[in-house]
Structure 1
Amino acid sequence: MADLPPSYESAPGWENREQKPESKLTHRFSIREEVGISRSQHVTAVVAKLLPHIKNRARGGLSKSTLLLLPSDQDSSRKGELVGYSGEELPVLVQLEGEQDTIEFWSQPEALDLLRGQVLAAISDTLPTPPVNSPLVPKEPLPRKTSFFGRKPGKSSGTRTAPPPVKAPVAIEVHLDDVFFRTETEYGLYQTLSGGAVVLTVEVS
């Protein structure tokens, strides 16, 4: 009598084929993890675009900078002039262009918290004080003794000591607010357009 073919349960490799889908599922990210990772990566890319603006203000000796981040679906700034700010407090306008940079994304408190935390981590570094301007601190004078050969030791000279590094305090405020732009129609009439924007304020004291 001819040998019967093995059953599906006893066929070689059947157990491995059964376990493969389960092993793949265990390595997948959950929806919550995917949202968190994607959100963090996108905020990191936005912060990289904002740092040059903040650094340019710092090079000019300005301790306070206000940036208005205009979401990609808010095009009021393309049509008019920003109103509601004085000339001395005029913020830096940053028009976001990404598909993910909508008002819906930036309305999430988690996105605003990430923006604040990443900007703070990027600019709040330790600033060491140059040792050139540090005062001359003399050493304690040693008692004068005559050596065995009759020569006196040289005088001790003072040394410049650098003070410890100073942590520059940085205050960062991030919130979503309404902004207004004044436009002129083709008939010479003025109208005001409103839209949402992320207000980022950086102040170094």
Structure 2
Amino acid sequence: MVDAPPSYQSAQGFEYREKEAESTSGHRFKIREEIGVYRSQHVTAVVATVVLLIRDRARGGLANSTLLLLPSDQEDSRKGTLVGYSSEEPPVLVQLEGEHDTMEFWRQPEALRILQEQVLAAISDTLPPPADDTPVPPRAMLPRKTSLFGRKPGKAFGIGPPAALLKAPVAVKADLHSVFFRTENEYGLYHTVDGQAVALTVEVS
């Protein structure tokens, strides 16, 4: 007795699974793009809160600000008092409450970079100097002029780049810092616990 050939329905099943595998394989190439989009959107939501706090300090005439962003999965920061923070000015504590505002998210260097760039773009009121499109001849073709005393005129009078271009008027830095909180239990005993936070510093010159 000759065995019957496989049914057409079975062949359809194989074809469907092959197409599904191809679709899944193609989706993998987009996961990095999706991570970048959602990461940026999440940081943008945090920046909206941070900029309001920086603006409040600016209205008080304060040029520099230090904000500590406390992750949502760090419970000790909610009930403790910040101690031992080495700074001349006390930092502004910002307790993050988002579901994804965990330490795992903010440990990513890319998240800190986006935070730093977005805050700088939101509070900076200056634009970079326009690019000079004037062609510059090669060094070998430049005329070597000297003064009567054998020095180049540029060096003799201290000619150099403008001071305004050497230092940006607004500087923003975001990195991770170790923080310590002192808590008190029901017996009145103090206990110090350590954790981490995102330190966001803003300096206006």
Please tell me the TM-score bracket, short chain as reference: 0.5 to 0.7
Residues 26-60 of structure 1: per-residue CA shift (max 9 Å, x gap): 79971110111110110111101111100000000
The structure with more helix, counted as a fraction of residues = 2
Runs (5+) with no aligned partner, structure 2: 1-7, 9-18, 128-163
Query: How far did 1:126 drift?
Result: 2.8
- The answer to whether structure 1 residue 112 and structure 2 residue 125 are counterparts is no
Residues 97-135 of structure 1: per-residue CA shift (max 9 Å, x gap): 1111100000000000000010011111139xxxxxxxx
Q: Matches of 1:87 and 1:31 in 2, distance apart? A: 40
Give the corresponding residue for 1:179: 179
- TM-score relative to the length of structure 1: 0.65
Q: Matches of 2:43 and 2:192 in 1, distance apart? A: 30
Greater radius of gyration (CA): 1
Figure out how many residues of one structure are paired with residues of the other and give that number: 151
Change (3 A) 1:28 1:109: closer
Quote the RMSD (CA, aligned, Å).
Answer: 2.9
Q: Matches of 1:75 and 1:91 in 2, distance apart? A: 19
Q: Matches of 1:179 and 1:198 in 2, distance apart? A: 10
Amino acid at match of 1:110: E
Change (3 A) 1:191 1:110: same
- TM-score relative to the length of structure 2: 0.65
Q: Matches of 1:121 and 1:71 in 2, distance apart? A: 23
Query: How far did 1:84 drift?
Result: 1.4
Task: Please give the secondary structure, in 2, of the residue aligned with 1:175.
Answer: strand
Amino acid at match of 1:176: L
The structure with more strand, counted as a fraction of residues = 1
Task: Please give the secondary structure, in 1, of the residue aligned with 2:65.
Answer: strand
Q: Matches of 1:100 and 1:65 in 2, distance apart? A: 25
List, as ranges, runs of 4+ consecutive aligned residues in structure 1 with deviation greater than 4 Å. Answer: 21-29
